[in-house]
Amino acid sequence: MIEKEVAPNALRGSSVLVTGGTGSFGRCFIDFVLNHTEASRIVVFSRDELKQSQMQERYGDNPRLRFFLGNVREKDRLLRAFDGVDIVVHAAALKQVPAAEYNPFEFVKTNILGAQNVIDAAIDCKVKKVVALSTDKASSPINLYGATKLVSDRLFVAGNVYSGQKPTRFSVVRYGNVVGSRGSIVWRLRQMPPGATFKLTDARMTRFWITLDQAVRFVMACLDEMRGGEIFIPKLPSMRITDLIAAVAPNAEVRTTGIRPGEKLHEEMISANESRRAVDRGDHYAILPDIAWQNQERLEGAALAEGFRYTSDSNEAWLDPEMLREQSDG
């Protein structure tokens, strides 16, 4: 399990902006930055005025916090928001797999065109570092959501070439399912009324799991470690979905409904093709860019075995049901 310590002077004097700042990750990240770093300004960029209003009420009149309504689909708004910003964490995305299959171009507009807008605005505003959040579904994608995130990942890696002589550098963080985030299986199990039946698509499924706090700390560590063009992957435990249900809702009645469009039995975070340019860096992996640009720096690490794949069913680390129960209660 990843556990990252953050330097007390992290982000000292920096202006930080989070796209999708009112989402599950965004709120946790902003909490962490406010409480554990010396960032001078934190900007919440999102399109949801209600959630922004609720966050404002929660934090009160915090002089370090700013709220900016906008959509990543609109480059002009991003250009205005990024003015004077040093670091961008790009967490805005459309994420629901079934919704993507029925509304594909909406996902393209947010996850792909929005990603390119973030890249262009960051370069034009001379942002120093951009970390974009990805998903295990971007590795060997079989659904529309995963395909859009794969394209997004490639755009952010290539953004380092577009940057040229400007200081902006881009990297990607790819991780698995977040325990307890809105819409997740843990969240849905906890919302179930007594006696309700939980619909499980396939009892053989396994998934990678990470907590919000671990995700935030990993992103913070990657902001410090990145040189540009890396896709960072934490080493995470796997869990069988049936064990997860037994841990979180042991009395739930389960009905198997069949796999949904675009759904995988097991998730993958590094494919065999990607592993040829990936390195092991202890508690995480880094997929290094296969394109070059001027003044490029490369991270070091141990090479992976030929044909290596990082998948949830062949993982060496498995999450104990009691550990999952503790995490889901956190």
Which residues does the annotation mark as catalytic?
137
Distance separating alpha carbons of residues 24 and 213, to the nearest angstrom: 11
Q: How far apart are CA 100 and CA 146, in angstroms?
A: 9
Amino acid letter for position 237: P
CB 104 within 8 A of CB 141: no
- Give alpha helix (H) positions in the chain: 24-36, 49-59, 75-81, 97-102, 104-107, 114-124, 144-163, 185-191, 212-225, 241-248, 272-275, 321-329
- Cα–Cα distance measured from residue 211 to residue 284, given in angstroms and rounded to the nearest whole number: 15
Tokens of 16: 């930080």
Q: Which residue has the tokens 């040093």?
A: 86
